[in-house]
Amino acid sequence: MSLQGRNILLGVTGGIAAYKTPEIVRLLMAEGAEVRVVLTRAAGEFVAPKTLEVLSRHAVYSDLFGRDAEFPVLHVGLAEWADLILVAPATAHCLGRIAGGLADDLLTSVLLCAGVPVLLAPSMEENMFANPAVEANVQTLAQRGFHLLEPGVGPLASGAVGRGRMPEPAELVEAVAAHFSGDLDGLKLLVTAGPTVEDLDPVRFISNRSSGKMGYALAERAAARGARVWLVSGPTALPAPAGVERQLVRSTRDMQRAVETLFEQVDGAILAAAPADYRAKEVAEQKIKRGAASSSIELVENPDIAAGLGQCKGQRLLVVFAMETEKGPERAREKLVRKGGDLIVLNMLNDEGAGFAGDTNRVTLIDVEGQEEALPLLSKSAVADRILDWVRARRGV
């Protein structure tokens, strides 16, 4: 892990966990990062600005209207300086202000200007985190592309034990490093995304609601983390992620041919596409007219791409997806075995924030050894990182 040459802006808000921020600064700098700190007024009640100033070797910023020789317009200059912004702790009040698009202090003004990744580390009492207003703010922020780090379970400021602890400083630094480090260097990955299309005639076709966003997020994050990525995509309006070799296909059989050819040269495959299970037995050469003598279309099964790879994967990793509307874990476990996968990512279509087309997802990871991890509602980019973390741990890269 190295953050050499990276500019990290640390935003500190008014929660008791602010007392840990000097250690965050120290660890970030130990990894080579340049660190500057923005302190809210309430945060100053929990941690001394002078401590953070000495550790970061820079002035600590808190005044929206403060003058600075380096940054004439302070909130704009700090936003442009940063390669990544970490807000830790992120209180319930802070999350609400960011979700509301407010800019009533320096930190929120910087965040409105920022075009870089923003990591939020929520920290509050369990009942506050479970409050519907806070949950709605978290969902809004995830949809806008903020990366929300899962709070820990343990002793809280009130003396209760529950969910709401800010992740420990070392975990936060690891999360920051994951956005820059080549922790997947040398890994070759195949990713599939989007729907497939099965023609009925020159005008009509069978398809599904998949937007491709989950698969594209996986390809983008894998490439950003150093992997060489081949993306096989069905029809979608999404642009090709930077640094990814994309191959566009149309039908399930087109996707099967592309995937089987590429699978021979990769270390693993993540099959996030939603290929059509059926196709027309015969495709009409001309448009089928209304009132035709027969209104039925005979369908035949398409090949099962995942099961085919599962039979020949050898030492390669195979991650498959399951979209279910009922009996999710039971059906996902059965599908994992049937397809010969190593990990299955279960989506429950009826879960709020999950499903097609959105920018968030709520999934459960189930591996072949029976381990299950239900993730909270996260951006699809954050879900991609959690899946890639699993791949990284399993491959030992």
Q: Distances in Å between the alpha carbon of 56 and those of 52, 73, 109, 306?
A: 6, 21, 22, 50
Asked whether the bond before 122 is cis by omega within 30 degrees of 0, the reply is no
Residue 373 DSSP label: E
Q: What is the DSSP string of 29-68?
A: HHTT-EEEEEE-TTGGGTS-HHHHHHHHTSPEE--TT---
**Cα 186 to chain centroid, rounded:** 21
List CB contacts of 311: < 8 A, sequence separation 6 or more: 340
User: Cα–Cα distance between 120 and 148 in angstroms, integer?
Assistant: 5
84, 175 contact by CB (below 8 A):
no
Three-point CA angle 272, 274, 276, nearest 5°: 155
- For residue 1, the number of C-alpha atoms closer than 13 Å in the C-beta half-sphere is 16
> Among residues 258, 179, 257, which one has the least CA distance to residue 221?
179
Structure tokens at 179: 């956005």
User: Cα–Cα distance between 309 and 216 in angstroms, integer?
Assistant: 21
Q: Which helix (H) or strand (E) holds 329?
A: helix 328-339
Active site residues: 208
